[in-house]
């Protein structure tokens, strides 16, 4: 019987410092697996030497496919492109910096053979970032879980395994421009296993996520998973209506007892609070409209410039 095919999707953005070490660790491990392996490196518009390094691997190793984007489209787009181009019965997504230990691939695949369609890797501990990363990450999950109907696992990572069935659902039905892939795989259903792991420090190179990039990503994920912020308008509207009724009654009573309140303070406080809330609500609506606009335009999630693979020669 033919061996099943396992596709490994690795997103790469300016990883020249670590990619050699990653490639040699990964190949050493996958050679021992009971699967035919294909390795898809998705080069997310790197501006360093990563492109050349990946092409070299593809040149000498027929398991490697180097997919080059025309520019940087982001980690999520890179994972999607990898999944779209994978021909495996099972697909594993992982980072190129060895923070997702390749040593765990075998136990992940064992969970798949036991009948799981999804294996989510949950970070139990991390050697990088310390308190700051831990606090921002748990803040993000508690906000998203309070605001959305679905519950996402704390610390679920972009290190996961999916079967072909799940990959087909992602390929055909989750083509949103604003994506949160590790969230998607938690809401599609299917038999899911969770495995804890410890994320070591980056083997080399720098994290590609700045504070601003992470904040942007967190906000986008929130919009992708929750419509709750849109309700702020209704709630603050109700609150202001109640306040205004109270204020009207108060002002009338004071007028009747012939001690009319001086208007200035009340008007200023009321107007500025109202304008503040109103503008925030308009801003939130604008943000959601921006996302609708992105969907309507229907531009591609990513653009592939070229693919290097031995069979393509």
Residues in contact with ligand UDP by CB under 6 A are: 11-13, 15, 44, 72, 74-75, 78, 95-97, 99, 207-209
Provide CB contacts within 8 A for 273, sequence distance 6+.
240
In the complex, what is the shortest distance from the CB of residue 97 to Mg ion, in angstroms, rounded to a whole number? 4
In the complex, what is the shortest distance from the CB of residue 125 to Mg ion, in angstroms, rounded to a whole number? 14
Quick count: other Cβ atoms within 10 Å of Cβ 258? 6
Provide CB contacts within 8 A for 149, sequence distance 6+.
226
Return the residue of 99, 148, 155, 192 that touches Mg ion, per CB under 5 A: 99
Between 153 and 270, whose beta carbon lies closer to ligand UDP? 153
Q: Which SS3 state, helix, strand or coil, does residue 60 take?
A: helix
CA distance readout (Å), 84 to 16, 81, 153, 174: 25, 5, 25, 12
d(CA 289, CA 299): 16
Q: Name the residue among 139, 102, 72 with its Cα closest to residue 8.
A: 102
Only segment of 88-96, 224-232, 273-281, 305-313 that touches Mg ion (CB under 5 A): 88-96
Between 222 and 281, whose beta carbon lies closer to ligand UDP? 222
For the segment 155-184, give every residue that binds Mg ion (CB under 5 A).
Answer: none
In the complex, what is the shortest distance from the CB of residue 94 to ligand UDP, in angstroms, rounded to a whole number? 8
Q: Is 97 in the site for Mg ion (CB under 5 A)?
A: yes
Are 199 and 251 contacting, i.e. CB atoms less than 8 angstroms apart? Answer: no
65 makes contact, choosing from ligand UDP, Mg ion, none, with CB < 5 to 8 Å by partner type, with none
Between 96 and 121, whose beta carbon lies closer to ligand UDP? 96
3 state SS for 93-139:
EEECCCCCCHHHHHHHHHHHHCCCCEEEEEEEEECCCHHHHHHHHHH
d(CA 160, CA 108): 8
Between 116 and 155, whose beta carbon lies closer to ligand UDP? 155
d(CA 93, CA 101): 12
Between 45 and 229, whose beta carbon lies closer to ligand UDP? 45
121 makes contact, choosing from Mg ion, ligand UDP, none, with CB < 5 to 8 Å by partner type, with none
Only segment of 97-105, 190-198, 216-224, 236-244 that touches Mg ion (CB under 5 A): 97-105
Only segment of 87-95, 145-153, 170-178, 252-260 that touches Mg ion (CB under 5 A): 87-95
96 makes contact, choosing from ligand UDP, Mg ion, none, with CB < 5 to 8 Å by partner type, with ligand UDP
Compute how many residues bind Mg ion; rule: CB under 5 A.
Answer: 3
Provide CB contacts within 8 A for 116, sequence distance 6+.
163, 191, 192, 193
In the complex, what is the shortest distance from the CB of residue 133 to ligand UDP, in angstroms, rounded to a whole number? 8
In the complex, what is the shortest distance from the CB of residue 75 to ligand UDP, in angstroms, rounded to a whole number? 4
13 makes contact, choosing from Mg ion, ligand UDP, none, with CB < 5 to 8 Å by partner type, with ligand UDP
d(CA 96, CA 22): 6
Between 75 and 111, whose beta carbon lies closer to ligand UDP? 75
Instruction: List alpha helices for 118-210, DSSP H.
Output: 130-147, 164-173, 181-187
By the criterion CB under 5 A, which residues form the site for Mg ion?
95, 97, 99
């Amino acid at each position: 019987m033919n061996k099943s095919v396992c596709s490994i999707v690795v997103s790469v953005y300016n990883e020249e410092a670590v990619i050699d070490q990653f490639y040699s660790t990964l190949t050493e491990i996958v050679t021992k697996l009971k699967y035919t392996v294909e390795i898809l490196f998705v080069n997310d518009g790197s501006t360093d030497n990563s492109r050349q390094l990946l092409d070299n691997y593809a040149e000498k190793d027929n398991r490697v496919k180097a997919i080059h984007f025309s520019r940087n489209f982001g980690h999520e787009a890179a994972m999607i492109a990898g999944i779209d181009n994978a021909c495996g019965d099972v697909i594993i997504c992982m980072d190129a910096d060895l923070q997702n230990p390749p040593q765990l691939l075998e136990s992940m695949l064992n969970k798949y053979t036991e009948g799981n369609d999804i294996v989510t890797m949950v970070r139990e501990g991390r050697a990088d970032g310390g308190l700051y990363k831990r606090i921002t990450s748990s803040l993000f999950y508690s906000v998203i879980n309070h605001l959305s109907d679905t519950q996402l696992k704390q610390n679920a990572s972009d290190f996961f395994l999916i079967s072909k069935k799940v990959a087909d659902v992602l390929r055909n039905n989750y083509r949103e421009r604003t994506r949160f892939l590790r969230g998607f795989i938690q809401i599609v259903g299917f038999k899911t296993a969770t495995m804890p792991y410890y994320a070591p420090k980056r083997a080399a190179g720098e994290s590609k996520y700045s504070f601003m990039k992470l904040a942007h990503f967190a906000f986008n994920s929130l919009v992708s998973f929750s419509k709750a912020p849109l309700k702020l308008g209704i709630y603050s509207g109700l609150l202001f209506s109640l306040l205004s009724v109270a204020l009207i009654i108060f002002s009338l009573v004071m007028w009747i007892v012939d001690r009319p309140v001086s208007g200035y303070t009340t008007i200023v406080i009321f107007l500025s609070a109202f304008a503040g809330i109103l503008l925030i609500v308009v801003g939130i609506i604008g943000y959601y409209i921006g996302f609708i606009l992105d969907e309507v335009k229907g531009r591609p999630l990513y653009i592939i410039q070229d693919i290097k693979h031995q069979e393509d020669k």
